[in-house]
Amino acid sequence: MDFKSKIILISGPTASGKSTFAIKVAKKVNGEIINADSMQVYKELKILSARPDPKKYQKIKHHLYGFHNASKNFSTGDWLKLAIKKIKEVQKRKKTPILVGGTGLYFKALTDGLVKIPNISLKLRNQTRDFQKNLGQKKFYEKLLQLDPSSRGKIKPTDTQRSIRAYEVKKFTKKSLTEWFKNTKSNFVEDDFFKVYIDYPRQELIERINVRTRDMIENGALKEVKDFIKLRVRKDKSSNKAIGVTEITEYLKNQKNLNDTRDKIAIKTRQYAKRQSTWARGNMMSWIKLKPQDINNFLKKI
């Protein structure tokens, strides 16, 4: 296969070695790397987001890392617009774009397109959530099917979040969520992509997460969060969701046991990795699943 003519996508759970693997691939195909991780865009969160160190770039150009202000939200739509622009710039230089990260929604937006649903009023969103809470999910789902029969079979009866979203979209736009997705297109075709998912065995990944969490604490995560606190970032901003911000903030306020803080971060990271793996099983079925022991053989074939 002519990898140089492809847009290479590399994903995997957190701590699976995606960044290192991407650099090795880039050397093989004369590539440039584009970030596809929602937390690595923030310039103030270098350590907690495990942003690649420029000293380890090995002369490979990296794009969309550490450029956005943590006090401002950064949406999937924002990323998609910038990623498409970077892909075209890289291709214009006769280089291979390599997108790497663990944010599944970014990849989905790139390969399938992004649904452009109009902004729904906060009043309606709150009303819908209150309605669901008062009825309970079982009865609310029945109401959803009455309003939007096309949701049957598309949304599980137990999926609260998607049920609420489907209800409010139909109410506000008079079109079902299914219709919105149907009319969504990517800027690219399926054949433009070569997709690889690094599939680490669970126990090995847990060990890697524990080591990385320890290294983060030793290499300045406490100071990074101290500086982050000084920014007074509003609680509703996406950057606050970075694993470690809440845990280290609590430690700095109460000066509790640092080992407990490290354990909490490791546990939360493991939970996140599990969610990433679950998401990949449902949404990345066409991706090549690469076990860590197969990486060297894969690189030899490029």
Residues 240-282: tens digit of each pLDDT: 999 999 999 999 998 778 999 999 999 999 999 999 999 999 8
Question: What are the start-end ranges of the E strands in the chain?
Answer: 7-11, 31-35, 62-63, 96-100, 193-198, 288-290
Residue 197 burial by Cβ neighbours in a 10 Å radius (0-12, 13-18, 19+): buried
Task: Please say whether the beta carbons of 172 and 118 come within 8 A.
Answer: yes
Mean pLDDT throughout 115-120? Answer: 82
CATH numeric code, 122-182: 1.10.20.140
CA distance 119 to 302: 44
Q: What is the mean pLDDT of the chain?
A: 93
For residue 234, pLDDT beyond 80: yes
Ranges of each domain in the chain: 3-115+188-200+280-301, 122-182, 203-277
Rounded to an integer, what distance in angstroms lies between the CA atom of residue 276 and that of residue 14?
8
Residue 1 has what pLDDT?
Answer: 66
User: Among 3.40.50.300, 2.60.120.380, 1.10.3720.10, 3.30.2350.10, what is the CATH number of 3-115+188-200+280-301?
Assistant: 3.40.50.300
Q: Where are the beta strands (DSSP E) in 76-211?
A: 96-100, 193-198
Q: Which of 119, 215, 213, 108 is nearest to 168 (CA)?
A: 119
Residue type, 50: A
**Segment 64-111, tens digit of pLDDT:** 999 999 999 899 999 999 999 999 999 999 999 999 999 999 999 999
CA distance 65 to 227: 19
Count Cα atoms within 13 angstroms, Cβ side, for 49: 27
Record the pTM. 0.85
Instruction: List CB contacts of 146: < 8 A, sequence separation 6 or more.
Output: none
Query: Which pLDDT belongs to residue 209?
Result: 98
Q: What is the pLDDT of residue 139?
A: 95
The whole-angstrom separation of Cα 170 and Cα 260 is 46
Confidence at residue 117, expressed as pLDDT on a 0 to 100 scale:
80
Residue 15's pLDDT is what? 96
- Identify the pLDDT of residue 183: 75
Cα–Cα distance between 112 and 84 in angstroms, integer? 13
Q: Which helix (H) or strand (E) holds 21?
A: helix 18-29
Two tokens, residue 254: 């109460």
In tens, the pLDDT along 124-180 reads 989 999 999 999 999 999 999 999 999 998 898 998 888 998 999 999 999 998 888
Bridge partners (DSSP) of residue 35 are 100
Query: What pLDDT is stored for residue 108 in this prediction?
Result: 93
CATH class entry, domain 203-277: mainly alpha
